[in-house]
Structure formats: structure tokens, C-alpha cells
């Protein structure tokens, strides 16, 4: 059996930008994020702006903290519908059990409105 070297390279710029947008949306500074993930502020800056790869644990901390689905970056050929469903699943998993009935009611209201519109 012959093996070929895997020459692929993962460009972190897209995820770095997503982390930056999510951080800013939460009103968090780079200093605050650096404190939470126990890294230097310049490391956060390099991850967000320069596409520098963080450690796996730091990567995990940041994407789960901000509810970022990495599927669209790791699997770029995935359909938009699948990516959206993954993001919704991540958001649902981050919610408290007491909040889920409210989300369920919202989903049902959207479905009812759509059925009424189609009738």
C-alpha cells in the first residue's frame, strides 16, 4: 500500500474572523477573551486577525463559548441548510432546560404562520 503526503493546509482566517465578530457582538474585548481562555491578548489578536492557529483546547474554548459551528469551514461543500441546522443545534445545546419550551413555542408559531400563509 502506498501513502501520499497530505498537502492540505487549513486557513484559519475565516474562523478567526467569525470569533472576532462573535466576541464583538457580545461586547467582549480581546483582553477579556484572553483572560477567559488564559492566553495573552496578542495571541487572541493573532488568532482573529492573522489566521494564526490556536491550540486545540483554545480553539475549542472559543468556538463553543461563542456558539460557532466549524462545519462550514471544515466541510465547505456542505449545503447552507445543513450549516444552519448545525448552528441552531449548537445554540439549542447551549440553552438551559427552562428556556427550551420558549424556543419550542417560537418554532411552532413560525410553522403555524407559514401554514396560515400557504392556506
Structural contact between residues 37 and 61, judged by C-beta atoms closer than 8 angstroms: yes
More confident residue, 119 or 92: 92
3-state secondary structure the chain: CCCCCCCCCCCCHHHHHHHHHHHHHCCCCHHHHHHHHCCCHHHHHHHHHHCCCCCHHHHHHHHHHCCCCCHHHHCCCCCHHHHHHHHHHHHHHCCCCCCHHHHHHHHHHHHHHHHHHHC
CA distance 91 to 100: 11
What homologous superfamily is domain 10-68 in, according to CATH? Answer: lambda repressor-like DNA-binding domains (1.10.260.40)
From the centroid of its chain, how far is CA 78?
Answer: 15
Rg (CA), the chain: 18
pLDDT band at residue 4 using 50, 70 and 90 as cut-offs: very high
Query: Does the pLDDT at position 94 exceed 80?
Result: yes
All structural domains of the chain with their residue ranges: 10-68, 79-119
Q: What is the mean pLDDT of the chain?
A: 90
pLDDT band at residue 102 using 50, 70 and 90 as cut-offs: very high
pLDDT band at residue 105 using 50, 70 and 90 as cut-offs: very high
Query: Does the pLDDT at position 77 exceed 80?
Result: no
Amino acid at each position: 500500500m502506498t501513502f501520499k503526503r497530505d498537502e492540505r493546509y487549513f486557513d484559519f482566517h475565516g474562523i478567526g474572523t467569525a470569533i472576532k465578530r462573535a466576541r464583538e457582538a457580545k461586547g467582549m474585548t480581546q483582553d477579556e477573551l484572553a483572560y477567559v481562555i488564559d492566553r495573552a491578548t496578542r495571541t487572541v489578536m493573532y488568532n482573529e486577525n492573522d489566521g494564526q492557529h490556536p491550540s486545540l483546547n483554545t480553539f475549542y474554548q472559543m468556538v463553543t463559548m461563542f456558539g460557532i459551528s466549524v462545519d462550514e469551514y471544515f466541510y465547505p461543500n456542505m449545503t447552507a441548510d445543513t450549516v444552519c441546522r448545525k448552528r441552531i443545534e449548537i445554540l439549542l445545546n447551549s440553552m438551559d432546560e427552562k428556556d427550551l419550551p420558549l424556543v419550542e413555542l417560537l418554532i411552532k408559531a413560525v410553522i403555524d404562520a407559514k401554514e396560515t400563509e400557504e392556506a
